[in-house]
Amino acid sequence: ELKVEQNPLFLSMQEGKNYTIYCNYSTTSDRLYWYRQDPGKSLESLFVLLSNGAVKQEGRLMASLDTKARLSTLHITAAVHDLSATYFCAVDEDAGGTSYGKLTFGQGTILTVHP
Amino acid sequence: GAGVSQTPSNKVTEKGKYVELRCDPISGHTALYWYRQSLGQGPEFLIYFQGTGAADDSGLPNDRFFAVRPEGSVSTLKIQRTERGDSAVYLCASSLFSGETQYFGPGTRLLVL
């Protein structure tokens, strides 16, 4: 059974600081997603990482994937209040070399950015 | 263009009743997914459709849950004899093809009293 673990689960940051959220998963996969969820809202796709060593960046967020370590990171640079949200990583199970979108999500990281 | 839509946005029902939750995927998306999200948790996979057929229903908790997608577009998740433990947000997502980025709807918040 695929397990996905994020840490930390709660992250309180000051504006302008940097931090990293970690996502570990337990079985083979080469397709990992990061989503953002604002309170009471649905999930917004941030990044899809498709291969070992993949790195994607958008604004103050950068995501990377190490399939050998079964680890993805979401790095936040110079945090601003607008980044406050819950961030989920989700892993697409590798079903014999074929991914069809059965996502297993981490528990989520609640990020709060303070002035 | 229009995103994934779900109706109703909120549903309050009594224990033992039957409910239907509807999902309208993005036009042209062939793959459709249902997830359930409990408070403070990540979404949990329920069922996946490719076209009209349920390709994987391994996440449905028991036989009270059933979903259909008769014409390969709109899908309905049906829950019989609802229980308080069914209370959650039910999310629908679609993707152009299976295995591609999923776009989520706003969810239906189900409360079983």
- What CATH number corresponds to the domain at position B53? 2.60.40.10
Is B91 inside a domain boundary? yes
pLDDT number for residue A55: 93
Q: Chain A interface residues facing chain B, Cβ-Cβ under 8 Å?
A: 4, 31, 33, 35, 41-45, 48, 88, 90, 92, 98-108
Which residue in chain B has the smallest CA separation from A41? B106
Per-residue burial over A25-48, b = 16 or more CB atoms within 10 Å of its CB, e = otherwise: beeebbbbbbbbbeeeebbeebbb
Q: Between A57 and A94, where is the model more confident? A: A57
CB A2 within 8 A of CB B70: no
Is B38 inside a domain boundary? yes
Contact: A100, B103; criterion CB under 8 Å = no
Of residues A101, A104, A106, nearest to B102 (C-beta): A101
Structural domains in chain B (count): 1
Domain that holds residue B78: 11-112
Of residues A43, A45, A100, nearest to B48 (C-beta): A100
Is B6 inside a domain boundary? no
Question: Quick one: which H or E segment has residue B75?
Answer: strand B75-79
Contact: B56, A100; criterion CB under 8 Å = yes
Is B15 inside a domain boundary? yes
Give the pLDDT confidence of A9-27 residue by residue, as tens digits.
Answer: 999 999 999 999 999 999 8
> What distance in Å separates residue B83's CA from the closest CA in chain A?
23
Which residue in chain A has the smallest CA separation from B91? A42
DSSP letter for each residue of A1-68:
---EEEE-SEEEEETT--EEEEEEESS--S-EEEEEE-TTS-EEEEEEE-STT-EEEETTEEEEEETT
pLDDT number for residue A96: 57
Q: Supply the mean pLDDT for chain A.
A: 92
Is B2 inside a domain boundary? no
pLDDT number for residue A95: 57
Give A50's pLDDT tier (boundaries 50, 70, 90). Answer: confident
CB B29 within 8 A of CB B96: yes
CA-based nearest residue to A43, from B35, B28, B57, B25: B35
Q: Which domains does chain A have, with CATH numbers?
A: 4-96+103-114 (2.60.40.10)
pLDDT average per 10 residues of sequence, chain B (113 residues): 91 98 96 95 95 90 96 96 97 93 96 98
pLDDT number for residue A25: 95
Contact: A101, B98; criterion CB under 8 Å = yes
Per-residue burial over B31-61, b = 16 or more CB atoms within 10 Å of its CB, e = otherwise: bbbbbbbeeeebbbbbbbbbeeebebeebbe
d(CA B72, CA B86): 26
d(CA A64, CA A67): 10
> What distance in Å separates residue A104's CA from the closest CA in chain B?
7
Give the pLDDT confidence of A90-111 residue by residue, as tens digits.
Answer: 999 765 566 678 899 999 999 9
CB A110 within 8 A of CB A63: no
Q: Average of pLDDT values for A81-92?
A: 96
pLDDT number for residue B74: 97
pLDDT number for residue A14: 94
pLDDT number for residue A52: 83
